[in-house]
Amino acid sequence: MPKEDPKIVELQKMREISYLGGGEDRIAKQKEKGKLTARERIGALLDKGSFQELNGMMLNRHTDFGLDKGKISGDGMIAGFGKINGRKVCVYAQDFTVMGGSFGEVAGQKVARLMDLAMDAGVPVIAINDGGGARIQEGVFSLFAFGEVFYRNVLASGVIPQICIIMGPCAGGAVYSPALTDFVVMTQGISNMFITGPEVIKAVTHEVVDAETLGGATTHSSISGVAHLVGQTEAETFAIVKKILEYIPDNNASTPTPIATNDSPFRADKALDSLVPSNPNQTYNILDAINRVVDKDSFFEIHARYATNAVVGFARLNGESIGIAANQPASMAGVLDINASDKIARFVRFCDAFNIPLVTFVDTPGFMPGSVTEHNGIIRHGAKIIFAFSEASVPKISVVTRKAYGGAYIVMGSKHLHADLAFAWPTAEIAVMGAEGAVNILYGRDLKQKPPEEAQKMRGELVEEYKTKFSNPYRAAAAGYVDEVILPSETRQRLISALEVLRNKQSLAPAKKHGNIPL
């Protein structure tokens, strides 16, 4: 048997050492926390045997604070490409066993190189974050590293999908790369994100707060809105990422891949015809409407815990991927507030960037009133929805299910913002405002001059008169602002037919560098 070439042996030995990262002791500590190693995570996310590492032997060039001793190949960042369910992706992961996953110059160079490759190849890029932020020992070089990545996050935005998985600490400057990506997925119990940690906050502001309350998965998925989705385990987190990829294309020059479905495009769910209560003050769940219209079990909600008065997510109609934005009457009556406005606008812009048609379900009494809302900029935030829907060039179809009042009706993908098609259910109320409010404004002075009993009777008659005239979809249909009033049970067939005719939609916009969205 021929003797193995010493150079081959040397390379294999170097790889073995590199694969151990920070060493067996630190790997054991990672396991004690219930966390996989960076390489195990890549192996769990990608198709078996598909990962191809790049720049695995890079070493940092710094010597301060003992950095010249015990250098580790790859320097705590694993980067490369592979496949997820046969689809090509680029992926990188911080190795917490190497200097706590701190982000240094080498990490920045490797990630920047990988993102350049992803953009050239037109494939999604996935980040797995588990590190303590900038490597302090490298000073400005670690800040340079972050800047290189941030810059590429922006260049890649709207060109290739970017997904960031948080599976450990993510602090300081490290949080801004995830914030620039399309989807942030956190893992319950082991992930945190914050600009400054609890100890610094205590020293500066004297506030006492623990890491989980400050920046855990629950906080960021329900209060701040930084996280779009949360997995209860690492395995569930990877499953979420794989599901996102099912609905989105590889890049902005392609479209999502259709899938075969056994759900008939002609299916008419009669339960929809009685879903909206006859009493406008009674609520219902818009998810019941969405799930009965789209392909069975296809709706995948995004940002489900955040701004629950709005619903956004992906679904399929006759196997084709679509984006859905909706008001949720079961939460705050579906009113549009600051967080709901941001949530809808951001999702609409993602769908438009990646050629995913938009379907809007409208049931909103208006924008949230009040001094707190005004002082926090509801005007500016509400304008983001107008900008997003107006800017979107993908097929846009709206369905008014019930209340569609005032400015909130306009911004929710109406014909006035050039939706391609607008449908309304017979239960739709398209008006400037509800009947009670309208009567108070139109007849308030007259009613005050009447005796109480007479005023009450007159008010009731005027409310009914206003409802008859305005609280219906027919005036809007007569004006052409609604293309068709449809039975709720017809919605699925109507949407599928509409998307088929709009499949090759062409849209022209004025030549410009870019618009100035009201941030």
Amino acid at 507: S
Catalytic residue among 22, 172, 197, 413: 172
Amino acid at 250: D
Question: How far apart are alpha carbons 91 and 129 in whole angstroms?
Answer: 11
Beta bridge partners of 360: 325, 398
Q: List the alpha helices (DSSP H) in 330-377.
A: 338-353, 371-375
Question: How far apart are alpha carbons 519 and 345 in whole angstroms?
Answer: 11
Residue 309 CB partners (closer than 8 Å, separation 6+): 327, 328, 331, 332, 333, 334, 335, 336, 337, 340
User: Which residue do the tokens 């048997």 mark?
Assistant: 1
Is residue 408 annotated as a catalytic residue, yes or no?
Answer: yes
Is residue 171 annotated as a catalytic residue, yes or no?
Answer: no
Q: How does strand 77-84 pair with strand 87-94? A: antiparallel
Amino acid at 126: I
Catalytic residue among 43, 173, 189, 225: 173
Catalytic residue among 147, 319, 406, 407: 407
The H or E element that residue 1 is part of is none
User: Which residue do the tokens 């390379």 mark?
Assistant: 11
Tokens of 248: 């989105």
As a three-state string, the secondary structure of 211-246 is HHHHHEHHHHHHHHCCCCEEECCHHHHHHHHHHHHH
Beta bridge partners of 421: 397
Question: How far apart are alpha carbons 495 and 322 in whole angstroms?
Answer: 11
At 400 the three-state DSSP class reads: strand
CA distances from 430 to 4, 187, 406 (A): 80, 42, 8
Is residue 22 annotated as a catalytic residue, yes or no?
Answer: no
Is residue 173 annotated as a catalytic residue, yes or no?
Answer: yes
Catalytic residue among 227, 345, 408, 422: 408
Residue 224 CB partners (closer than 8 Å, separation 6+): none
The DSSP letter of residue 420 is S
* Residue count (the chain): 519
CA distances from 238 to 1, 232, 354 (A): 44, 10, 22
Confirm if 105 and 140 have CB atoms less than 8 A apart.
no
Question: How far apart are alpha carbons 404 and 400 in whole angstroms?
Answer: 7
Q: How does strand 87-94 pair with strand 162-166? A: unpaired
Q: Which residues are catalytic?
A: 172-173, 407-408
